[in-house]
């Protein structure tokens, strides 16, 4: 009879996993309690590696200012780059500036433009993503890397599968996003049929802060502002 093998310490690992449930619950409870008080907000996503002297940093800052002037607050991932620009724009415009920080081995550190009572720290990406989706009335997605793409495609999937209510998803930067959208349309849609044509209606591509606000205003003329699930 073959003896089944288990890695050393397997039982201890399972026990630790069970206790981790309470830490996960704590992150959810803390997030729900704090974010339920922030009011309507729009999330801005993008690369942590964008520097203040680059054009997309300044554009993100201007978009955040315009979002505040339109009556919303701003949520970011709380770190440097595009996230810092988003919080900075909201802060300078006198609006709500929220940071959902995550502990990472590189890139992530709190930026100084987050409201002191609206800075949250997470260990779990999946808890943090729930907070973005639940308490955002729109996603503004600037050029970024894997984390930015993760947030974008998760939101699109949840809306596509009717797990959450539809909200505006706005891609900023034609030079960055055009190739990806062309691939989705030509390959994912036309060649393989893995999505429906109407799924592409979930996203809009723009290049200016005025276009961002126009899309948000048009959507919420007909849709009630509330948490998404």
Is 4 among the domain residues?
Answer: no
**Segments of the chain scoring below 50 in pLDDT:** none
Is 80 among the domain residues?
Answer: yes
Closest of 218, 169, 212 to residue 63, by C-alpha: 212
Is 228 among the domain residues?
Answer: no
User: What's the domain count of the chain?
Assistant: 1
pLDDT (0 to 100) of residue 110: 86
Closest of 81, 102, 98, 101 to residue 90, by C-alpha: 98
The CATH code of the domain that includes 45 is: 3.40.50.450
List the beta bridge partners of residue 76: 99
Is 193 among the domain residues?
Answer: yes
Is 71 among the domain residues?
Answer: yes
Residue 76's alpha-carbon distances to 80, 85, 114, 135, 211, in angstroms, are 10, 9, 9, 12, 20
Is 226 among the domain residues?
Answer: no
Q: Which domain holds residue 83?
A: 10-220
DSSP one-letter code for 5: P
Report the greatest alpha carbon distance in the chain: 72
Does this model's pTM top 0.75? My answer is: yes
pLDDT in tens, 82-100: 999 999 999 999 999 999 9
Share of the chain above pLDDT 90, in %: 85
Spatial CB neighbours of 168, under 8 Å, sequence gap ≥ 6: 137, 138, 139, 204, 215, 216, 219
Is 229 among the domain residues?
Answer: no
Is 191 among the domain residues?
Answer: yes
């Amino acid at each position: 009879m073959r003896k089944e093998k288990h890695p050393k310490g397997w039982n201890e690992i399972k026990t630790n996993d069970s206790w981790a449930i309470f830490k996960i619950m704590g992150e959810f409870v803390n997030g729900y309690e704090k974010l339920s008080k922030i009011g309507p907000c729009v999330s801005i996503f993008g690369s942590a590696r964008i520097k203040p002297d680059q054009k997309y940093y300044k554009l993100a800052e201007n978009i955040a200012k315009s979002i505040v002037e339109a009556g919303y607050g701003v949520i970011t991932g709380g770190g440097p780059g595009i996230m810092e620009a988003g919080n900075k724009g909201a802060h300078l415009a006198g609006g709500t500036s929220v940071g959902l920080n995550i502990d990472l081995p590189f890139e992530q550190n709190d930026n100084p433009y987050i409201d002191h009572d609206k800075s949250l720290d997470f260990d779990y990406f999946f808890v943090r993503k729930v907070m973005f989706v639940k308490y955002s009335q729109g996603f503004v997605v600037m050029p970024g890397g894997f984390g930015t793409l993760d947030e974008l495609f998760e939101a699109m999937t949840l809306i596509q599968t009717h797990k959450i209510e539809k909200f505006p998803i706005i891609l900023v930067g034609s030079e960055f996003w055009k190739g990806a959208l062309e691939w989705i349309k030509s390959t994912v849609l036309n060649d393989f049929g893995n999505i429906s044509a109407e799924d592409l209606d979930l996203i809009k591509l723009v290049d200016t802060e005025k276009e961002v606000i126009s899309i948000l205003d048009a959507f919420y003329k007909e849709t009630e502002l509330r948490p998404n699930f």
